[in-house]
Structure 1
Amino acid sequence: MSKHEQFVTGIPSSWVGPIRISGNAIDEEIKVPLATYETPLWPSVGRGARVSRLVEGGIRATVVDERMTRSSLFIARDAAHAYEAMSRIREREAELHEVVTAQSRFARLIEIHEEIVGNLLFIRFAFTTGDASGHNMVTQAADSLMNLILSWDLGLEYGSVSGNFCSDKKATSVNGILGRGKRVVAEILIPHDIVESKLRSTAQQITDIVVRKNLVGSTIAGAVRSANAHFANMLLAFYLATGQDAANIVEGSQGIVYAENREEGLYFSCTLPHLIVGTVGNGKDLEQVEDALQKLGCREPREPGANARRLAAMIAATVLCGELSLLAAQTNPGELMRSHVALERGERN
């Protein structure tokens, strides 16, 4: 078998910020790395970052949950036998937890969900995976769990180690409902005068466009648990700069923007239900990625999972910066296109 010819693709990259972030995973001002061919993204995120530094506490990012999943597929004779087998598996669930703990320093089984479709039994295993995003870790764990379950002679046959009920790199509802990756909410309360002077808009205008564009527009488009303007732009740029599996922007960009015009100012939030990111594992050994993670403070000796939560919080805050800036621009006729033209011409000259 011939070896693949490897080469390196250069992507324009820049450190943007600093962004003021607080919350349960990070509390500081920090610059973030963004790798993108759409370079107007840098000043757009930069505008949101400037706003964050003018607000006490900046952007508050709360990591609400974390897990990685793998759904295994078993084949039974019929639905009745699948149901009976699952009942027996539930009775011996403690043994499943033990086999995962025994084989891994970091993987821990935390939850099981099942679906029976005809004679097919799907079991969705959820794990914590420390600082790794956990793709390979949960596949290895699922292999061991399947072998154990099949050894119990429940009348089940092997279907697949991954049955798509996980669900990996696909736009589905299950990840938002049951969780996959880091669930993070980023939010900020911006005084009215800052909205007007720095975003050239008003709290009411931005609240209106969130409802009309993101919520209603996404609904009539048939979006799947998603109501945002361009989460994917910031996610891809951050993922590429920090060695993440970039294909995970498919589910990562399923998120919801919510805003309110309050007496104190504009309340603006971005909820990202399934950020699949890690600070160790595949892609993290590249020199430029290692350098970025070092500068982000994600190589510190913390408890397992803390560095990955820190990274997830920074990503969510970056998404908010870009989303806020773009939506504010779109409240003014022509501003979005004028900005792109000005920035792109400036780069060429």
Structure 2
Amino acid sequence: MTTDAASATPESGTPAEYDERVTPIPTRWVGPIRVSGNAVEGEIEVPLATYESPLWPSVGRGARLSRQIEGGIVATVVGERMTRSVLLRARGAGAAHLASIDVQQRFDELAAVVAAQSRFAQLVEIHPEIVGDLLFLRFAFTTGDASGHNMVTAASEALLSTVLAWHPELEYGSISGNYCSDKKATAVNGILGRGRSVVAEMLIPAALVESTLRSSTQRIVDLNTGKNLVGSTIAGALRSANAHYANMLLAFYLATGQDAANIVEGSQGITYAENRDGDLYFSTTLPHLIVGTVGNGKHLPGVNAALDRLGCREEREPGANARRLAALIAASVLCGEISLLAAQTNPGELMAAHVAMERGAARRGGSKA
């Protein structure tokens, strides 16, 4: 059943009994979104858990737009890896440099160490950095359908022990040296990759820009340049130029049992818009989505049901379900991003929508979906 938030009716009645162990978050299924690409095909509704009720109709408008275009939103998963960087100390930079060379030359041996202690983790890259007498080794792994936080930490523990056994002149520094980089806004994740990297894009005919978004191609292109590209640059954003990726990411993460703190790096991404003979090319690039369909949090009944409904619990090759989830998240981000930008091309539209929805919900005593 289609449940675009714009047409959903909040339930009223007696509030549920208070339980201090549970924080209820209103959740609605929005869409369906028409998606194609290398990880998912079809029209799929998505769950968004949020207190910001205008987010539902905003994403819903983008979803309606996608259903009016052949192929809808094309979501392409362009990479996947999870990282952990270990920190070691050497007697000096020379010793650190020699050790780093040896570690890279013995990649196959280290890959075998990982394979021996994990069914799903596979070592795909080692990237060293030396600062003074400090040696950072940034290990990158594929992790199947898990986001991989614990999996890569366990693998890195094994690799760290092996490297220290090979090089007794080195000293242990930390299992995590912040060069990973986990739950922090950094440049390295976008450059080297962390999590699932997805590009979502759509070519929107000019007529639909006007009828569905109530804007124009050039106004949206100009706003994206001025707001997202220039505005983010003067603000000092790190490899990030977007309007509100974090809104859609947090709502999707909470509904599907992801580690919500990973929206810190997940919301770093770039929105790009181009006028193509009057039609609007619009894309959202999310280089580091830390998401999974198995692991911690996925056992909860609501999360389980959501992942089943999203089609992310099917019998597929390891990693395919997580790639499907990442593609759906990227498509949802595009829906919310283009809707907000379109609203901001019209003076007063954004505030009017918030006032109408949030004050209406307050008068009704809140909503439950």
Q: Does 1:165 align with 2:179?
A: yes
Counterpart residue number, 2:336: 322
Give, in angstroms, the shift of residue 269 of structure 1.
Answer: 0.2
Distance, in Å, in 2 between the alignment partners of 1:27 and 1:71 is: 35
Distance, in Å, in 2 between the alignment partners of 1:93 and 1:67 is: 17
Give, in angstroms, the shift of residue 153 of structure 1.
Answer: 2.9
Distance, in Å, in 2 between the alignment partners of 1:292 and 1:152 is: 46
Amino acid at match of 2:67: R
Counterpart residue number, 1:227: 241
Q: Deviations over 1:231-285 (max 9, x none)?
A: 0000000000000000000000000000001126100000000000000000000
Q: Does 1:124 align with 2:141?
A: no
Distance, in Å, in 1 between the alignment partners of 2:42 and 2:292 is: 20
User: Which among 287, 292, 297 is matched to residue 273 of structure 1?
Assistant: 287
Distance, in Å, in 1 between the alignment partners of 2:101 and 2:209 is: 56
Distance, in Å, in 1 between the alignment partners of 2:49 and 2:124 is: 34
Q: Deviations over 1:264-313 (max 9, x none)?
A: 61000000000000000000000000000000000100000000000000
Give, in angstroms, the shift of residue 6 of structure 1.
Answer: 7.3
Q: Does 1:145 align with 2:159?
A: yes
Q: How does 1:16-165 map to 2 (within 5 A)?
A: 16-165=30-179
Distance, in Å, in 1 between the alignment partners of 2:106 and 2:310 is: 43
User: Which among 260, 275, 296 is matched to residue 246 of structure 1?
Assistant: 260
Counterpart residue number, 2:275: 261
Q: Is the contact between residue 85 and residue 154 of structure 1 (CA under 8 Å) also seen in structure 2? A: no
Stretch of structure 1 that moved more, 337-346 or 62-71:
337-346
User: Which among 307, 315, 319 is matched to residue 293 of structure 1?
Assistant: 307
What secondary structure is seen at the aligned counterpart in 2 of 1:32? strand
Q: Is the contact between residue 85 and residue 155 of structure 1 (CA under 8 Å) also seen in structure 2? A: no
Q: Is the contact between residue 175 and residue 273 of structure 1 (CA under 8 Å) also seen in structure 2? A: yes
Distance, in Å, in 2 between the alignment partners of 1:265 and 1:116 is: 48
What secondary structure is seen at the aligned counterpart in 1 of 2:237? coil
What secondary structure is seen at the aligned counterpart in 1 of 2:184? coil
Give, in angstroms, the shift of residue 346 of structure 1.
Answer: 2.6
- Point out where structure 2 has 5 or more consecutive residues left out of the alignment: 1-18, 365-369
Normalising by structure 1, report the TM-score: 0.98
Q: Is the contact between residue 213 and residue 342 of structure 2 (CA under 8 Å) also seen in structure 1? A: yes
Give, in angstroms, the shift of residue 197 of structure 1.
Answer: 0.5
What secondary structure is seen at the aligned counterpart in 2 of 1:229? coil
Q: Does 1:310 align with 2:304?
A: no
Q: Does 1:177 align with 2:200?
A: no
Q: Deviations over 1:85-122 (max 9, x none)?
A: 11222222211000001111100000010100000000
Amino acid at match of 2:241: A
Stretch of structure 1 that moved more, 92-101 or 55-64:
92-101
Distance, in Å, in 2 between the alignment partners of 1:248 and 1:16 is: 23
Stretch of structure 1 that moved more, 299-308 or 255-264:
255-264
Give, in angstroms, the shift of residue 65 of structure 1.
Answer: 0.1
Normalising by structure 2, report the TM-score: 0.92
User: Which among 198, 210, 215 is matched to residue 196 of structure 1?
Assistant: 210
Q: Is the contact between residue 77 and residue 119 of structure 1 (CA under 8 Å) also seen in structure 2? A: yes
What secondary structure is seen at the aligned counterpart in 2 of 1:60? strand
Q: Is the contact between residue 217 and residue 278 of structure 2 (CA under 8 Å) also seen in structure 1? A: no
Q: CA RMSD in A?
A: 1.0
Amino acid at match of 2:215: S
Give, in angstroms, the shift of residue 12 of structure 1.
Answer: 0.6
Runs of 4+ that moved beyond 3 A: none
- Point out where structure 1 has 5 or more consecutive residues left out of the alignment: none
Q: Deviations over 1:7-26 (max 9, x none)?
A: 11100100000000000000
Distance, in Å, in 1 between the alignment partners of 2:20 and 2:290 is: 26
* Count of residues in correspondence between the two structures: 345
Distance, in Å, in 2 between the alignment partners of 1:152 and 1:115 is: 19
Distance, in Å, in 2 between the alignment partners of 1:6 and 1:283 is: 18
Q: Is the contact between residue 99 and residue 167 of structure 2 (CA under 8 Å) also seen in structure 1? A: no
What secondary structure is seen at the aligned counterpart in 2 of 1:87? helix
Amino acid at match of 2:133: N
Residue 264 and residue 55 in structure 1: after superposition, are their counterparts in 2 closer, same or farther (change >3 A)?
A: farther
Stretch of structure 1 that moved more, 75-84 or 149-158:
149-158
Counterpart residue number, 2:8: none
Distance, in Å, in 2 between the alignment partners of 1:120 and 1:340 is: 50
Distance, in Å, in 2 between the alignment partners of 1:27 and 1:189 is: 17
Give, in angstroms, the shift of residue 215 of structure 1.
Answer: 0.3
Q: Is the contact between residue 343 and residue 349 of structure 2 (CA under 8 Å) also seen in structure 1? A: yes
Amino acid at match of 2:290: I
